[in-house]
Each structure stands twice: as C-alpha cells, then as structure tokens.
Amino acid sequence: MPRWPRVNVQAYQLDAARRALAANIVSAAITSAALRAQIDTTERLVTLANDQARDAARRYALGAVSHADQLSSQQSAASVSASLPGLRQQWQSTRHALAVLLGRTPDAAPDDLELAALHLPEQVPVVVPSELLRAPRHPGRRRGPESRRRCRRGHRADVSEPFAKRVDGTRRL
C-alpha cells in the first residue's frame, strides 16, 4: 500500500484537531464573557432586591404595607442572591477549561472578553456549499429495509438514486 494516502489522512486529522481546538477556545471565551456579564447583572439585581426588601421592612414598620408584602420582598431578594453561587461556579469552570485549552494553569486564565465588544460579521454565509449537497450518503440509511438488506449483503446501492428526478422534474433528496 502506498504511503502517501496515510500521510494525507494524518494531515487532515491534524487540521481537524487544530480547527476543533480553535472552535473550543472561541466557544469557551464567549461563554466565559457571557457568564461574567450575567454575574454582573445578577449582582446589580441583588443590590436592587435588597434595597427593595429594606424599603418594604421600613414601610411595614410604619404600617404602610402588610407583613406578607414584606416577606415577599425578602423572599425575592433571597431568591435572586441564591442564583449567584451557581453562576460563579459555572464561570470558574469555564475559565478553568479555557486556561487548559490554551495550555495554561487555571490561575493563569486570560481576562474575560467584553461581551459588548463582540460583533458578528456583516455578511454571514447562509448557503450550504454545493459539494456537501452532492456527497453521497450511506446507502443503507437512504431507504427502507430492502436497501439496508442489500447493503448488509455487500451489494453496492446506486448512489445517484436519491438525486433522481421525479416525473414533475423536481429532485428528491
């Protein structure tokens, strides 16, 4: 067997690994930035909820609100603040994973990106490349039991079959 096909496969595998690593790094960096923004927002909400609970306690002491309203505002403040530890844990885990993906120790993770500074490109491709549409699928997955039986017996299915034209001229996939 010639040696060059194996080298090509290894080169493609290395390229795929590099692309997967880059995608994972980008995903972790964006997730970390989103979690940091969510933590900041939640901390502001906790501050507001605590202020509202204090105001409700003062109004209850003055007789302006019922005891149920005061307890409700305290419960709301406690509920919002209870979500912070989980968010912080997710953020720390994401930063740890990002540091490992970059080949660093967790304490040397990069600073978070500013989420507002991230922008999508003006034009995002929305068309599937035509080569992918022409790629034959596994013959056993295409049709019913007869096609799968032929595949198991070693018969080669007709690759052009799923792209055959119908009587009305349209293509079926």
Q: Where are the domains of the chain?
A: 9-117, 130-163
Spatial distance between the Cα atoms of 107 and 99, rounded to a whole number of angstroms: 8
User: What local confidence, expressed as pLDDT, does residue 57 receive?
Assistant: 95
This prediction has a pTM of 0.64
Average pLDDT along the chain, 173 residues, taken 10 residues at a time: 65 91 94 96 97 96 94 95 96 95 92 86 74 55 58 52 50 49
User: Which residues lie below 8 Å from residue 24, measured CB to CB, with a gap of 6+?
Assistant: 101
User: What local confidence, expressed as pLDDT, does residue 147 receive?
Assistant: 59
Q: Are 31 and 100 in contact (CB under 8 A)?
A: no
Spatial distance between the Cα atoms of 48 and 54, rounded to a whole number of angstroms: 10
User: What local confidence, expressed as pLDDT, does residue 21 receive?
Assistant: 95
Spatial distance between the Cα atoms of 91 and 99, rounded to a whole number of angstroms: 12
Spatial distance between the Cα atoms of 25 and 19, rounded to a whole number of angstroms: 10
Coil, strand or helix at 165? strand
* Location of structure tokens 């844990």: 89
User: What local confidence, expressed as pLDDT, does residue 122 receive?
Assistant: 86
